[in-house]
Structure 1
């Protein structure tokens, strides 16, 4: 795909993500009613579906011959471009009033992510990536930072309740190793926004399990186009599974995360 087309798709993703910004800012800290999907750890609000519906309307108008794969509404449409949409990545944070959530939209063509936007409506930060680069609010970003675990900030929600149910004490042992190895470990929620922060060099490593393409497609392109490393542990960004990302220059081979991610993926 040529760079101009990639940038055009990024502009469409930006328009769609910003179209729901006012709604999400207005509803933030209103303590909306929460329902659950898989279990009580997996919340959803009326704003998730409403935001996704609005995003679908924008994409249908601006790129009518396309497929939309949304977290809330499933897969609809036909065409060469596939959009992966998470209207609120970090719904638990949004519902509780914790300002770490975002809208994530990515475009893929022929099995390759070619455009992506992660929009933080609280801070009005827009992270955008295309095949020629990555920016935050229009300024080029570079994924650079720590080189070793002992200098680095790790963002990770591991172990999740599903990891604990599956791996038990082994998952807690891995968390202990991570906590001891890194300068700091944080569990902020929102895979997409964690990846955006690694892309910007605001954090050094991000690790997660049990994600879907709408969670990480845009963030994966952000990290790579900013010069960082993104590894889909399932083999593909489009297959459910885990991910590991780090800033450029980080010694991943010597990191405790190389062993932790490998062990968690095979257990």
Structure 2
């Protein structure tokens, strides 16, 4: 599409890589489809990133939405309508229901605030939920030249310009050695407890705010150990239930429920999970 700089397109092309040689699970067909959906999304988002004619509006909840968000969701829905006509779709921009046996959960651009400001940390999130449990998850970040994916029973993987590899969580077993990340401290003040977040920060070695999808991917690949969010929608976190658990970690709400629709999330390497939940309790 028009509007993106030639320099940016060169960077994105230089970091492209093939997805043809993959190790996949018993959910092969669904995972392959999810990866193709991510390819279609990347073609749209990469072209619109840093575009001079990018349009930005505000939704009723006052969060921003760009023309790229809507275009990606519409494109993904069109492919699913053709290839999985009996499946249900729930997306951030067009809505839907989770009340079905097979639901595709979509966040066309997670990190829209980064996207519209020209910060390259954003991604398309795609999950397939079967009977209430995510079984396929794909996270694609073309501006970073990275992708993460997993399927139930098939392991977790990541890829960048150097190739693809299996990933696993860290082996850190003490909170005082742990690296923790969240999205925005203001959300803790508004939705949960600033003091609870600071209790966890004080108990750990180092804290950052990598935010949004990126921190959960970093947990899955063992770069950080804990990533709590006190407020989260299903489309924000559905892929990470399968990605983090297949990488050997844990995924729960802040109340300890293993569900992606619990309104909050804690991803971890597993060893630190219960201690972190105790500190994050109101």
Aligned residue for 1:107, secondary structure, equals: strand
1:181-203 CA distance string (max 9 Å, x none): 2222222232x332122111122
Distance 1:153 1:241, change over 3 A: same
1:217-243 CA distance string (max 9 Å, x none): 111110000101111236353424111
The reply to whether residue 174 of structure 1 matches residue 174 of structure 2 is no
CA contact (8 A) 2:179 2:206 kept: yes
CA contact (8 A) 1:144 1:204 kept: yes
- TM-score (norm. length: structure 1): 0.85
CA contact (8 A) 1:213 1:237 kept: no
1:153 positional shift: 1.7
Q: 2:281 maps to what in 1?
A: 262
The reply to whether residue 74 of structure 1 matches residue 95 of structure 2 is yes
Q: 1:106 maps to what in 2?
A: 127
5+ residue gaps, structure 2:
1-23
The reply to whether residue 222 of structure 1 matches residue 243 of structure 2 is yes
Aligned residue for 2:189, secondary structure, equals: helix
Aligned residue for 2:169, secondary structure, equals: coil
CA contact (8 A) 1:158 1:175 kept: no
Q: 1:148 maps to what in 2?
A: 174
CA contact (8 A) 2:191 2:230 kept: no
Measured in 2, the distance between the counterparts of 1:155 and 1:166 equals: 17
- TM-score (norm. length: structure 2): 0.80
5+ residue gaps, structure 1:
none
Distance 1:39 1:217, change over 3 A: closer
1:76 positional shift: 7.0
Q: 1:130 maps to what in 2?
A: 151
Deviates more, 1:173-182 or 1:102-111: 173-182
Aligned residue for 2:50, secondary structure, equals: coil
CA contact (8 A) 1:210 1:240 kept: no
The reply to whether residue 183 of structure 1 matches residue 205 of structure 2 is yes
TM superposition outliers: structure 1 runs of 4+ over 6 Å: 76-79
1:179 positional shift: 3.1
Aligned residue for 2:229, secondary structure, equals: strand
The reply to whether residue 52 of structure 1 matches residue 73 of structure 2 is yes
CA contact (8 A) 1:152 1:204 kept: yes
Distance 1:63 1:175, change over 3 A: same
In proportion to residue count, which structure has more strand? 1
Aligned residue for 1:20, secondary structure, equals: helix
1:3-40 CA distance string (max 9 Å, x none): 85512211111110121212212222336332222444
